[in-house]
Amino acid sequence: MPSLKDLKNRIESVKNTRKITKAMQMVAAAKLRRAQEAAEAGRPYAERFNAVLGSLAASVGGSDSAPMLLRGTGSDQTHLLVVMTAERGLCGGFNSNIAKLAKQHAADLVAAGKTVKIITVGKKGRDSMKRDLGDHYIEHVDLSEVKRIGYSNAQDIAKGVLSRFEAGEFDVATIFYARFINVVSQVPTAQQIIPASFEATEGDAAATLYDYEPDEEAILADLLPRGVATQIFSALLENGASEQGARMSAMDNATRNAGDMIDKLTIEYNRSRQAVITNELIEIISGAEAL
């Protein structure tokens, strides 16, 4: 049975831990507002940009004159997986869920006889992917020194991916990130960015009413690389909001658990203290009776 001193020290230790988790929860809550606003503000632009590209792509079809970013290389043998996670932990299952989705996707591709290459963005994803899929790991993008994610960071990642595609290093590229829903819900998502794929919308049918100058192929050749950067930037913003939401939720749970542990330890401490006092009273009474 622990001594009174041990119990008291443990209670103080848990109280200090609770102060830290509470502070981290408040910091995450402050950061979440900015990150959520950035992610939500970026969604309309990304959705409209993809709708315009989708309309252009529908008018071009699968012609040989279409840009390679749209029609692809004609093969799907080599796949590039860009796994985006956080630079830090203490955010519940946020990082592990993204890595789990990427690993499952990679395992399915390998089982189908495909070649898999992996690029990571975020230290936590790098550690997980290198540990389990080190043979397929080729590069890490370090954003640990970046205080606030900007479009330039997405452009740098996109340039690296596009240069590898132009060099013929892969046929299909897919990004993995967590889409922000709310504080308690972040959905791990896989999105193909090369060759470009677009969801059909009701407005696509009206695209035939427009004439483009220059032609659709020339416009797509200029916009598709921007589209890749836009999709990566949108994923980074979604990840930033998801990370802070997951951290806020995790630290709130940790704070509550610390409070429960303090209550249990305090009850145990009071019982032990009462037992000591009772034993001392018994000894005093027994000594008095002996006299």
Active-site residues, by number, are 91
SS3 65: coil
Question: Which H or E element spans position 173?
Answer: strand 172-182
Q: From CA 49, how far away is CA 226, in angstroms rounded?
A: 10
Cβ contact 229:155 at 8 Å: yes
76 φ, ψ to 5°? -135, 35
The DSSP line for 231-272 is HHHHHHHHHHHHHHHHHHHHHHHHHHHHHHHHHHHHHHHHHH
Element (H, E) at 180: strand 172-182
List the structure tokens of 13.
Answer: 């230790």
Give residues with Cβ within 8 angstroms of 78, minimum separation 6. 114, 115, 116, 117, 169, 170, 171, 172
Q: Return the ∠ at Cα 185 (arms to 200 and 95), rounded to 5°.
A: 95
Residue 192: how many other CB atoms lie within 10 Å: 13
Give one word for 170, left, alpha or beta, with left for phi > 0 and alpha for psi -120 to 50: beta
